[in-house]
Amino acid sequence: MKGRNEGQQRKRFATSLCLVLTTCALICVYYGIFFKSAFKHESELSTVEADEELILKNFRNGVSERKKYSLNVDNINEYLDHENDTIMSKQQKTFKHLESSVLDVSVKTFTVCDSSLSELIPCLDRHLNSHLKLKLNLSLMEHYERHCPPPYRRLNCRIPPPRNYKVPIPWPASRDEVWQSNVPHTFLAMEKSDQHWMIVKGDKVNFPGGGTHFHDGADKYIASLGKMLRYPHGDLSNHGNIRTVLDVGCGVASFGAYLLPLDILAMSIAPNDVHENQIQFALERGIPSTLGVLATRRLPFPSESFDLAHCSRCRIDWLQRDGILLLEIDRLLRPGGLFAWSSPPAYRDDAENVQIWNEMSDLVKRMCWSVAAKEGQTVIWMKALTNDCYDARPENSKPPVCDPDDDPDAAWNLPMKACISVMDKRNALAPWPRRLITMPSRLQALGVTEEQYQKDKIAWRVRVQYYFKQLNSVVEKNTFRNVMDMKAHLGGFAAALKGKPVWVMNVVPVSDPNTLTVIYDRGLIGSLHDWCQAFSTYPRTYDLLHAWTIFSDIENQECSIEDLLLEMDRLLRPMGFVIIRDKSLLVDQIVSYITALHWDAWSLVMKAEPDGLSTGDNEKILFARKRLMKPDPDDIL
């Protein structure tokens, strides 16, 4: 009995030993293959950095062709006219889609936020203000200003689209109609039905072009302003001399929409107030706009940016706090700039409105404004052309001139000042479209020479032409309308898009020199911004995001790649595109997030050929397209 038991134990021991050895062998084989693949991949990555003729093994259908080329300023026109196919052979590229590889081991995952957050604007979230118990002055509209969540309250999830979301109607049809399911709000349609803001018709929302002051259409109202100013043929653009406009309290931005045929570009702003989602409707229509409010902080634009400011029944008390809000408009207007004000005090003769008119007239006189035209319900004032009027005022006049050490171009998270900003002595701007290519005089203050400016223009023309060559097979005529350049520099990317049916939000990071002055002087629009915070717009705003070295810039800041990628995903429309150009290692890292972000409808990575704007000879370009998809219920946060 004992011997039999011992024999059985030896058999069980031998069997167990065999199983253990077999398992160990399998583990060794598995990890041997894994580490071999990992070491091989790491070696390949190193080789890519050392030898541009190798491409990553993470993509299929790899194509490798490369010819060096040089760019000469003198032969740029000949170069640009050359057949684009030659460019294709000058870069390495690898096509769609990411295959499983060793990089997949490090791919992050992002859950989907709750559907109640489908319209979240993190820095304009009044629920957050309440949770943080911020003591805000409601009478000064501080609750409509930016208040960003601290890092520990940032959401690490993707903002979902609303139910039944559809690819937006393309421009120019979108000016007049959008899908109701994309902005599922009908309050404005009911509240403003008699003013023809918008009308719900079936599964669409229509925009007849009306407004609180112009029930019969913005186009007729705009023509009336041109006639008031006695411009040739009543054309408000005045042969291109009025190009950039600030529309305050813009509603659904129909005023800005009907300026576009005149080659006038308006920055339409309004708060996220009781007129809920007005800016969201404007952006869904494809009209340049952003969330903003005249409250206590300067708007994020430099001084002397706009040829015309407009307020039509915007219900702003311009007389409060010694005229500080009107002085902010003054800061933003160019010398000789115009302010069109359509409001009851301009025409009503009751005691209250007469008093407001008299006080407004006194204020603008002390600000050295003069009446350019007044007719019916509208008055148009003109800002002084020089500083001479300020010097000629009596001593201790109010509002005072700002202190010499005040920088009127500094506009990020700074309080407004109840003082008059002194104007720069510089040449008048050329009319549009020459304004786009004429060297702005404010470039000199940035230390940029004319030669550098010309090289910048050329480099961006080449880059943009190449970008669209790569996108040609996956985009249609009107795929792009709302475009953001996340690091606009001198506005070269936007300038190179002239002639395409797009508008560009040119963003200048606050960590960079303030080149937004030059961008506005070129007849473009944009905003200052800190990319460690959320942008002041709704989710699903942009069809194309262009990010040039932005990820390099935030490496030493208080935010991460994940933070910025999630913000970009919030801004990007489903089926929208990103173009990211940065250091190779950073692009490789970003590539590992594509699937987690659902930016894998189409993708392309290529080696970037060095040019005059490159930060080095080791850059890559990532193109990616966001999927249109319904969130998986199991994936909801």
- Of residues 158 and 105, more confidently modeled: 158
Q: Which pLDDT score, from 0 to 100, does residue 205 have?
A: 93
Percent with pLDDT over 90 in the chain: 71
Rg of the Cα trace of the chain? 29
Contacts of 3 (CB under 8 A, 6+ apart): none
What is the model's pLDDT at position 45? Answer: 34
Among the listed ranges 106-120, 286-300, 342-356, 594-608, which one has the minimum average pLDDT value? 106-120
Whole-number average pLDDT of the chain = 84
User: What is the structure's pLDDT at 622?
Assistant: 98
How far apart are alpha carbons 606 and 466 in whole angstroms? Answer: 12
Cβ proximity of 567 and 535 under 8 Å:
yes
Distance between CA atoms of residues 338 and 357, nearest Å: 18
The yes-or-no verdict on residue 392 having pLDDT over 80 is yes
Euclidean distance between CA atoms 15 and 29, whole angstroms: 21
Tallying the residues shown for the chain, one arrives at 637
Residues 6+ apart with CB under 8 A from 16: none
Which pLDDT score, from 0 to 100, does residue 52 have? 31
Q: What percent of the chain has pLDDT over 70?
A: 80
**Cα angle: 298, vertex 304, 307; to 5 degrees:** 115
Cα–Cα distance between 344 and 271 in angstroms, integer?
22
Tokens of 613: 């704007």
Domain boundaries, the chain: 1-51, 104-120+155-160+436-635, 217-392
Q: What is the pLDDT of residue 195?
A: 67
97-119 per-position pLDDT tens digit: 333 333 333 456 899 999 999 99
State residue 250's pLDDT score: 85
Topology (CATH level 3) of domain 217-392: Rossmann fold (3.40.50)
- Residue 637 has a pLDDT of 53
pLDDT the model gives residue 6: 46
Q: CA 446 to CA 349: how far, in whole Å?
A: 50
Residues 450-458 have a mean pLDDT of 95
pLDDT, position 56: 32
Residue (of 594, 635, 562) closest to 104 by Cα position: 594
The two domains 104-120+155-160+436-635 and 217-392 share their CATH topology (first three levels equal): yes
| Band of residue 65 on the pLDDT scale cut at 50, 70, 90 | very low
Three-state secondary-structure class, residue 309: strand
Whether the per-residue pLDDT at 81 is higher than 80: the answer is no
HSE-up (13 A, CA, CB side) for residue 279: 25
Residue 91 has pLDDT above 50, yes or no: no
* Contact of 146 with 633, CB cutoff 8 Å: no
pLDDT tens string 573-617: 999 999 999 999 999 999 999 999 999 999 999 999 999 899 877
pLDDT for 32 equals 44
The Cα 473–Cα 491 span in angstroms is 26
Question: Is residue 40 scored above 60 in pLDDT?
Answer: no
- Tell me the pLDDT tens digit for each residue of 460-473: 999 999 999 999 99
Q: What integer is the mean pLDDT of 52-80?
A: 34
Distances, alpha carbon 412 to alpha carbons 297, 408, 425, in Å: 8, 11, 24
| Both structure tokens of 148 | 């960003």
Q: Is the confidence at residue 33, as pLDDT, over 50?
A: no
Over residues 281-306, mean pLDDT: 97
- The pLDDT, as a whole number, for residue 14 is 52
Question: Confidence class of residue 276 from pLDDT cuts 50, 70 and 90?
Answer: low
CATH number of the domain located at residue range(s) 104-120+155-160+436-635 in this protein: 3.40.50.150
